[in-house]
Amino acid sequence: MIAAYIIKQYERAVVFKLGKITGDARGPGLIFVVPFVQRIRRVSLRIVTMPIQSQGIITKDNVSIDVSAVAYYRVEDPIRSVVAIENIEAAIGQIAQTTLRSVVGRHTLDELLSETEGINQNIREILDVQTEEWGVKVTVVELRDIQLPDSMQRAMARQAEAEREKRGKVIAAQGERLAAGELAQAADVMAAHPLALQLRNLQTLVEVAVDKNSTVVFPAPLMSTIGELGSFLAREKQAAGELPATPDGPPSENGAMATSSPPSPPRVDDAR
């Protein structure tokens, strides 16, 4: 009597004859075995997703966190996966938890948050070395969730806010510096071209008029150069010198200024 088994594309059959493995793993397709003499053990070659349970871990800088991860593995050698270990999933789950605790404990919290890719690679390499003798290949390990204490979350939020404020102040200072440089160049151009200052004055008047204010003050034409300012002051002094001077007299007893009166003619006594 012969028994027939259909082995699927993603499976391999390890055949035991009287308790001993005979030949290589068989499949896929139709295989025949002798009942009671030969037995088969089906092994899946597909990638298996195994979650790593969350566990409390203390980082290198003494921060208590809860970390969970997920691992992906597949069987590369069906015979060794059957002979070398009894329960592959349970074994990989336990060794993954211990490896995760060991690797995360060697890093600080900042490194754990910023260097996640490197930590994942380190955990995968350690697991791959330990599971190689079982005929299993660990393909990917990813940290799935990192839970921080509430106090640490608030502290990190304050730190991030302070960092954003610092960047805002730096950007504002850089803008002020660039604006000051542009204004200095504009001032040099206006100093070289006095009419440019007058045009800027007229443009300012136009901008003020757009706001429809009830009162608009028109400033006098600005002096564009120091020479014009000096000539203006000279003309003012000359005009002030041409005005008649106001006669002043000594103050009277009541504080009022005494005005001088014309002298009276001498009086001549008549001879008698």
CA 77: distance to chain centroid? Answer: 47
Q: Tell me the pairing of strands 29-33 and 3-7.
A: antiparallel
- Would you call 146 helix, strand, or coil by DSSP? strand
pLDDT at 231: 66
pLDDT band at 137 (very low <50, low <70, confident <90, very high): very high
- pLDDT recorded at residue 250: 47
Task: Return d(Cα 196, Cα 185) in angstroms, integer.
Answer: 13
Name which residue leads in pLDDT, 183 or 259. Answer: 183
Q: What is the mean pLDDT of residues 202-218?
A: 65
Is a pLDDT exceeding 60 seen at residue 204?
yes
What percentage of the chain carries pLDDT values higher than 70?
77
Q: If you average pLDDT over residues 6-32, what whole number do you get?
A: 90
Amino acid at 55: Q
Q: Please state, in angstroms and as integers, the Cα–Cα distance from residue 89 to each residue in 72, 113, 137, following that order.
A: 11, 28, 12
Average of per-residue pLDDT across 250-262: 45
Written as six digits, the tokens of 57 are: 């871990």
E strand or H helix at 111: helix 109-114
For 56-89, how does the pLDDT look when each residue is reduced to its tens digit (9 = 90+)? 888 888 888 899 999 999 999 999 999 988 888 8
Q: Mean pLDDT across the chain, nearest whole number?
A: 79
Domain 48-148 has CATH 3.90.79.10: no
pLDDT at 77: 92
